Amino acid sequence: MFHFIIVDFCGDSLLQIPVHDIYNLTTPYYPDTYPNSADCTWIAQSPRPHGTIKILFPDFDLETNYDYLTIGQGNNRTDDTMVLKLTGKSGLASLSVSDEAVWIRFKSDRGVAWYGFVLQISWTVNAGMTN
């Protein structure tokens, strides 16, 4: 059975993903509009090695070409570890990253704000590995 843990704050935060839980990560104030000039970073970390972090995108609506969500592998937010950059209305259903951690960054400009996003983050053990 999965439990849902809601995270709707903005800041440098470490999200420990327990086994059989799903984090619902949202933009600040979701479902109301997110703030201008937001710069939020989260690190989602698996509870054990040899896992895959899965991110679902059930709702996604950012100002196209001005507000962005970027996701990368590992604990350090750098351009060379980035695996995904999204803006506008994402048609992406899911993303799987085989790593012990992913970083997630949301950045908005000073202009128009939209409704933001909901990300559902979970963790599974890789095939052939024991938990």
Average pLDDT over residues 75-91: 87
Measured in whole angstroms, how far is the alpha carbon of residue 37 from the centre of its chain?
18
- Specify whether domain 3-125 bears CATH 2.60.40.420: no
> What was the pLDDT predicted at 1?
43
> pTM for the whole thing?
0.87
> What was the pLDDT predicted at 94?
92
Average pLDDT over residues 74-103: 88
Average pLDDT over residues 7-36: 82
Residues near 64 by Cβ (< 8 Å), separated by ≥ 6?
A: 87, 88, 89
Tell whether the model's pLDDT for residue 35 goes beyond 90: yes
Burial class from Cβ neighbours inside 10 Å (0-12, 13-18, 19+) for residue 8 reads middle
